[in-house]
Amino acid sequence: MTTTGPRTDRYAFAQSLARRAGALASDYFGDRERLTVELKGPQDFVSHADRDVEALLRREVAAAYPGDAFLGEETAASFTGPLNRCWVVDPIDGTHNFLRGVPYWNVAIAYVEGGRARIGIVYDPVHDELYRAETGAGAWCDHGGASRRLHVAHPTALPGAFVALGHHDRAPSDRHLEIRRRMMAEGVSMRNFGSGALQLAHVAAGRLDGFIELELSIWDAIGALLIVEEAGGRALPFMPEPITAKAMCVAAAPGVFAQLTALVG
C-alpha cells in the first residue's frame, strides 16, 4: 500500500503547523519574563510556553488527522505506541536558551510510519528559517519567501572540522569528557549550542560538519536526522528503547562520518 499522497498532504500541513507553533512560541519568547518556569530535574526546565505550544500541536494534528497518534515531549508519559502514523514533536527544543533569551531554539515536528521518519520539520522562528524534508524529496530551507536546497558540507578530515558535541549538563559524564579529549587531540573545533534538532538542521545546511550527543530524545532527533540524510549526510541508526528513553545520536557529512563514529566508539 502506498502512502505517497497522504504523506504529501501531511508535508504541507506540517510546514504550516510548524509556523503556527513558532508564532505562538515567539509571542512567549518576547514576553518570557512573565513565564512560570518549573524544574523537572537538574538543569531541566519547562514552562507553560512549552505546554501551550504542545497543546496547539496536538489539537491541530487531532483535527486534521484524527486517526494519527501523537508523541510530544511534555506529554510523553501518556504515550502507549506504536510508533506508526505518529506525529513526534518537541514544542520548544532548546528551552533553557529560550528562557534566557538566547535566540537558538526551534519547533521540531516529525511524522513517522513504521518507526521511520517520513517527514521532518525544524523551524527556527527567530531567524524565520524552516528546515524541511520528506523521504526521497531532498532537504530544503525556506527563508524570506525563497526555498534553498540543502547540502551537507564536504570536509575530508577531522582537523579543522566544525562539530557540535551536545551534552545536557544534568550529570557529569566521563564518556563525554573522553570523547571531547579525543576530538581535541584530532584538532576538531567543537561547539554546543543547546538545541539538538537545530544543530542537526545546521549539519544539513553545511554550517556544521557533524553532531554528536550521547543521550538524545526521539522528539529532538528523528525528524532532524531525516533532514540530514536528505541533504546527503550520514547518521548512525537512532531508535531509543523504550521510545521515551534517550539514545546516542551521531550525524555528519560523509567525509568525516566514519572518523567521528570511530571517536565515539
pTM over 0.85: yes
- The predicted pLDDT at position 31 comes to 86
Residue 50 has pLDDT above 60, yes or no: yes
What pLDDT sits at residue 60? 98
Identify each DSSP E strand in 125-256 by its residue range: 129-134, 139-143, 146-149, 162-166, 189-191, 210-217, 234-235, 246-252
* 75 vs 148, more confident: 148
Query: DSSP per residue over 75-136, as a string?
Result: GGGG-----SSEEEEEEEETHHHHHHT-S--EEEEEEEETTEEEEEEEEETTTTEEEEEETT
Compute the mean pLDDT over every residue in the chain, rounded to the nearest whole number: 91
pLDDT value for 36: 66
pLDDT value at residue 185? 96
Alpha carbons 226 and 237: distance in angstroms, whole number: 11
pLDDT score at 213: 96
Residue 37 has pLDDT above 70, yes or no: no
Task: Please give the domain boundaries of the chain with CATH numbers for all domains.
Answer: 4-149 (3.30.540.10), 162-264 (3.40.190.80)
pLDDT recorded at residue 2: 36
Return the pLDDT at 170: 64
Whether residue 40 is predicted with pLDDT greater than 80 in this model: the reply is: no
Q: How confident is the model at residue 227 (pLDDT cuts 50, 70, 90)?
A: very high
List, for residues 154-192, the tens digit of each pLDDT value.
999 999 999 999 987 666 688 999 999 999 999 999 999
Confirm if 226 and 115 have CB atoms less than 8 A apart: no
- Spatial separation of the C-alpha atoms in residues 86 and 6, rounded to whole Å: 13
Strand 37-41 and strand 44-47: the pairing is antiparallel
